[in-house]
Chain A
């Protein structure tokens, strides 16, 4: 069985843990991270091929080697200047071509959305480009064997367990800020695993159909929303600070 997980690289400080460690660079989108974690958990018990598919800059490679070390079998990095600045339309143009090129894919897993752009449209557009069903709100992946994929969905207050025949696009629900720990040895071994890099030529795509040129939306303006408050520091002996806090609580 062949399974692909789509991974969006996001700027690292979106995950709280990474924020604490003050790292720089790319991290796996936390919504994708949860699906990946569930897949790697099942992979310990059941045998299937797990391919990570990622569109992003060559600088994502460090992040991707960690995934290989964590148990992903191979990584395909779709990296090309022509892919930059893609909206959901241009993104799914490239991803769908890559998935067709990979071939014989049973299930395509995606996170519910990316923590930066937050459109949540890519998995649906991908499914429609590939003309296969899409299963959303998947809270847990239970097993994956010859009988198909068994999963749990959360639909408002209803929990539903289902078996899904292949092929299908599977969309997760929640996210996690937990990064998996990878040993130095497995990281070293991962360097021998396959990291495949495809550009537009390899996918037989015209540059004008990719990235910013192939996009059908463009951002006119963007500004930060200010949520800052006064942040008045409560100084002094702790018991006095506590009394002050209780006064505020009492209103």
Chain B
């Protein structure tokens, strides 16, 4: 059973994300009152949130599409007015910044990157840590409200509920303080290096680690990849070494892949890398070191020298093996 609970959803300009948070907030049941705070300069497309169950919409007009502005004044006013039990922010860069500001100004606990929220007399936030290898349940304490940032595409958008225009919409303005003073943009250009499509669509991917990163081995591996139709990716370490481009880095801070086959050549198996290959159907690991952690995350383990394995594979393919 749940007491009367008030939830405040901070909405930025990503409509699906806003609706995902609103839907999660609504799902706590009939005892929950959900308010949406729209922090944006152009609000027209968002003022239908009451159709998704929001009872009050607060539109905060921002005079310019500034990357940063001071939220403190507005958040203090709205907090006094709404006294929410929970604040939800999107876990985007801007959401993170606003959440931090709200936490500091209202002296509340903040849980980052939630993947679930439960309620048992208090809000219990679920998040992962240590490169998605640990699942933690966290609660907020010693503060008037709980606060969290919510990951994108975790919660489903529930269908519209209400057909009438009954929501109360309030308008206020923000005490814009231009943080951009003394800041100068010298130049901007598109980063043409980014090309994740080839990895996200590949059926077979070869992963390179430090144990397979010298030029001779790479050349042989590229030859084999050409024969088989595989894409080449790698760990952060080989990106550091300049062997592959950043956009082909697989793992926590790079790309997450989901091919049918992933063959890890000379990869030790750090948690940061393993999290990026988790969705692969079949993982084969090739490593000389039989203690390499990667073997525990693989379906098949080949304990052998990478170069010898590559040579042998090329040999078999050239003999007409594939």
A residues lining the B interface (CB < 8 Å): 14-17, 19-20, 87-89, 92, 115-121, 124-125, 127-129, 133-137, 148, 150, 154, 157-165, 174-178, 215-225, 227-234, 238-239, 241-243, 245-246, 248-251
* Known contacts A232-B301, A245-B300; 8 further A-B pairs (Cβ under 8 A): A16-B270, A158-B190, A163-B186, A175-B236, A215-B141, A231-B296, A231-B298, A243-B321
Q: Mark B275-288, 1 if CB is under 8 A from A, else 0.
A: 10010001111000
Structural contact, A154 and B191, CB atoms closer than 8 A: yes
Q: Which of B280-315 contact A (CB under 8 A)?
A: 282-285, 293, 295-304, 308-309, 312-313, 315
* Chain B residues in 8 Å Cβ range of A217: 109-111, 138-141
* Chain A residues in 8 Å Cβ range of B24: none
Closest to A148 in B: B182
Structural contact, B129 and A118, CB atoms closer than 8 A: yes
Structural contact, A165 and B296, CB atoms closer than 8 A: no
Closest to B228 in A: A249
Tell yes or no: B154 within 8 A of A by CB.
no
- Secondary structure of the A side of the interface? mixed
Give the docked Cα–Cα distance between A92 and B101 (Å). 12
- Secondary structure of the B side of the interface? mixed
Give the docked Cα–Cα distance between A162 and B179 (Å). 14
- Chain B's nearest CB lies how many Å from the CB of A178? 5
Structural contact, A227 and B270, CB atoms closer than 8 A: no
Query: In which size bucket is the chain B interface?
Result: 35 or more
CB < 8 Å neighbour of B296 from A177, A225, A228: A228
Closest to B91 in A: A120
Structural contact, A88 and B110, CB atoms closer than 8 A: yes
Closest to B321 in A: A246
Structural contact, A225 and B128, CB atoms closer than 8 A: yes
- Chain B's nearest CB lies how many Å from the CB of A243? 6
Tell yes or no: B187 within 8 A of A by CB.
yes
Give the docked Cα–Cα distance between A129 and B140 (Å). 19
Structural contact, A176 and B236, CB atoms closer than 8 A: yes
- Chain B's nearest CB lies how many Å from the CB of A8? 13
* Chain A residues in 8 Å Cβ range of B313: 242, 245-246
* Chain B residues in 8 Å Cβ range of A232: 299-301
- Chain A's nearest CB lies how many Å from the CB of B148? 10
Tell yes or no: B74 within 8 A of A by CB.
no
Q: Which of B140-189 contact A (CB under 8 A)?
A: 140-143, 179-189
- Chain B's nearest CB lies how many Å from the CB of A100? 15
Structural contact, A216 and B284, CB atoms closer than 8 A: no
Closest to B282 in A: A248
CB < 8 Å neighbour of A246 from B129, B190, B298, B316: B316
CB < 8 Å neighbour of B184 from A163, A177, A230: A163
Q: Mark B129-141, 1 if CB is under 8 A from A, else 0.
A: 1111111111111
Give the docked Cα–Cα distance between A164 and B184 (Å). 7
Give the docked Cα–Cα distance between A151 and B322 (Å). 49
* Chain B residues in 8 Å Cβ range of A174: 246, 253
Closest to A166 in B: B182
Structural contact, A227 and B274, CB atoms closer than 8 A: yes
CB < 8 Å neighbour of A89 from B109, B263, B297: B109
Structural contact, A160 and B188, CB atoms closer than 8 A: yes
